[in-house]
Amino acid sequence: AVITLILTFSADHEVANTVIIPQSSIWCTGDSIQNRRCFINNLCYSFENDDFVFVRGATSAQHGLPTVEQPVASINWTSPMTSSRPVDHTAHTSYRLRSVMGGPLTDLSGGVENLNNRDYQFSYVEVLDSAIRSKKLTASILPDKVLILKRFKPDNLMHVIHDDLLPLYYALLELEFTGAKEYRVFLVDDYEKGDFWNLYRLFKSKIFLNANHPWTKQTLRAEVDTDLVCFSTAVVGGMPSTRWYQYGFNRFQGPVEKLQITGHEIRSFASFVRHGLEVPRYDIDKPHYSARTRQKYPYAVIINRKLTRRILNEIDLSLAVAREFDLRTVTVNLETHSMGEIVHVLQNATMLIAMHGAQLVLSMFLPVNAVVIELFPLGIPSHDYTPYKTLASIDGMDLIYRAWENRDPAKSVAFPDRDPLLGGIAHLPREQQDVINKTLPVEQHFCCDNPAFLHRMYQDTEVDLKKFMEVAKDAMAQRAAQLESAPITKKKAVNTTDSPTTSKTDIASKFSHQTHGAVIQDEPMSTSTVRNVQCAVVPSRKVLHIDWEAPWNLQYINANTVYYELRVQGSGGVMQRYFSNGTEMEVPLPGSDKEAQLWIACVVDGSYGAFNTLPVICSA
Ligand code: UDP
């Protein structure tokens, strides 16, 4: 590719390029494509060759590139075709380990695991700055810092949020956290802006200080008419730790092995989207508002699909839900409602019902304790397709998830004559169609074009109301139990959303002046160790008398509930746990021991402070 680039411009020798293109330097950390992170100064991009370009000059520096063995002397090679002499490849060659740019460095996408596709990995080609100078090669040198990402499937909402937006959001936050502001997103795929561009556009705003929308290749091309465009700094890829699902490229699909993202971080991202879309909040301070449920008129939301995987008796379903649970029902879909409208109704819903599909990723906008019921077409086992179950189950999402599967062939409508990507099978040999029609459920398979899976997945479904209601009642009973046990406090009522009294300007200033991450204002705080622990054996009563002083920082934090956990261990090794509301307690001496070891921690709103590292020895 380097050669191509130089040859492209070597025809014209007359005019030396007057623009001085700054030399590039690269700094990477990490030791594999999956975990390497690279910062590049003065990275260029060649529109014609669709390559990133590293301008190599005397001051270029490289750090953290993969090491490979490279020949340091040329091989005295004789072609076996023209000579009968044996070829000795090693005679004049020695090798040494060198860091070189010779292959992919890091993932260009954020949320897609194990894609192992060179098209989605970042690499660049090197060009000598002297060669550029001597050719008629034009360049636009932009002062912008860019975060480079390749969208995976921008026409699918789950992929948009999981693969692109969430990893972008946390990559940009990381940069801001380290003081590097004003990164502009550069999307280096060949897609049009797409149906969900209004979500990608959010990375402009007051929140990320850069006032510009992301660039796509096309929009950047329209702004500059030079051969190269060069950025002052570039960072590659989103934050991979935000993934919760892998799509089954080289093992069956399922949750990622090491889930790192928390519900709190996802809700923080959801809050960013809500503000960006300027979705008004329900005012929970209005009269008639239940502090416990945060609802004036409780309602359920059905997200339907107009084209494929439809619910055929949607009106009956919504009437049945309304009747059974005394809920109003609202039906929305991506075809006729804006993203803002859908987010608006979701943020206060009691229940969300939808067929399996990308629209269910919007459950991240539901309030805590909301019920999510995912419907599965005939032959699609819910336990094999769990992106939305996984999302609902992430610690801190606090959603009540249930799956409902259609088991009745009479209530399923298939579309054999459709396009194969929408489940059509008419193009397949008769025997294969028969096997697909007879096989229930679909066997596990890799991504993405298994015809049996697509055929079943794109069926329409008439929901069996009786069977559905069994699932829904069970979920609503769990919700009732959870609401019953949840303390009603002002704090609890607002802890997953913004304060009801926060005005727009408050929010704007909060976001533009603060370092972000998941906002932890309402999270429990933990304490230091307790102080001055005294512990004595009282032999006459066979007890330990223990007292201590509260952790020093307890007076500086907000605490609704405070108690202490004591762990007492005798020489037999068995550890007993005791709980105390105060700072003094008597507990039984373990066994007939004359000595015991003691640890104490302070627990604030369910969050443990540190135990003492060395045990306190209790003796007579
Ligand atoms: N979609 C929709 N209505 C339909 C079919 C699809 O809104 O009738 C949306 C869907 O939510 C997703 C995109 O179109 O954002 C692609 O849908 P597809 O069925 O290919 O993917 P899936 O939903 O199975 O992930």
| CB 507 within 8 Å of CB 205 | no
Q: Which amino acid is at 97?
A: L
pLDDT tens string 377-401: 999 999 999 999 999 999 999 999 9
Q: Which residue has the higher pLDDT, 407 or 604?
A: 407
Q: How many residues does the chain have?
A: 620
State if residue 306 touches ligand 1 by the CB under 6 angstroms criterion.
Answer: yes
State if residue 339 touches ligand 1 by the CB under 6 angstroms criterion.
Answer: no
**1-5, 24-28, 136-140: the lowest-pLDDT one:** 1-5
pLDDT at residue 501 greater than cutoff 50 = no
Q: Is the ipTM of this complex over 0.90?
A: yes
Mean of the pLDDT values across residues 220-229? 93
Cα pseudo-dihedral 196, 197, 199, 205, rounded to 10: -170
Q: Residue 363 is inside which H or E element, if any?
A: none
Quick one: which of 255, 310, 256, 254 has its CA closest to 447? 254
Give just the sign of the alpha carbon dihedral 147, 152, 153, 158.
negative
Ligand 1 atom with the shortest distance to the CA of 157: 15
Instruction: List the residue whose alpha carbon is closest to atom 8 of ligand 1.
Output: 307
Instruction: List the residue whose alpha carbon is closest to atom 17 of ligand 1.
Output: 156
Q: How far is the CA of 156 from the centre of ligand 1 (A)?
A: 6
pLDDT at residue 92 greater than cutoff 90 = no
Question: For position 524, what pLDDT does the model report?
Answer: 72
Question: For position 294, what pLDDT does the model report?
Answer: 54
Q: How far is the CA of 181 from the centre of ligand 1 (A)?
A: 35
Helix, strand, or coil (residue 25): strand
Helices 263-276 & 166-177 angle (0-180, nearest 10): 90
pLDDT at residue 490 greater than cutoff 80 = no
Average pLDDT, the chain: 84
pLDDT at residue 86 greater than cutoff 90 = no
Which stretches does DSSP call E strand in 490-583? 531-538, 543-549, 562-569, 575-580
Q: How far is the CA of 506 from the centre of ligand 1 (A)?
A: 36
pLDDT at residue 15 greater than cutoff 50 = no
Give 328's strand partners.
299
State if residue 418 touches ligand 1 by the CB under 6 angstroms criterion.
Answer: no
| CB 44 within 8 Å of CB 228 | yes
Going by their DSSP bridges, the two strands 62-63 and 25-29 should be labelled as parallel
Q: How far is the CA of 340 from the centre of ligand 1 (A)?
A: 18
Residue of 153, 162, 164, 308 to mutate, ligand 1, most atoms within 8 A of C-beta: 308
Instruction: List the residue whose alpha carbon is closest to atom 3 of ligand 1.
Output: 305
Ligand 1 atom with the shortest distance to the CA of 160: 15
Question: For position 522, what pLDDT does the model report?
Answer: 65
Task: Work out the number of other CB atoms within 10 angstroms of the CB of residue 310.
Answer: 18
pLDDT bucket at 324, cuts 50 / 70 / 90: very high
Give the distance, in angstroms, between the CA of residue 194 and the centroid of all CA atoms in the same chain.
Answer: 21
Quick one: which of 478, 272, 456, 244 has its CA closest to 370? 478
Residue of 152, 334, 449 to mutate, ligand 1, most atoms within 8 A of C-beta: 334
DSSP assignments along 324-335, one per residue: HHT-EEEEE-TT
pLDDT at residue 586 greater than cutoff 90 = yes
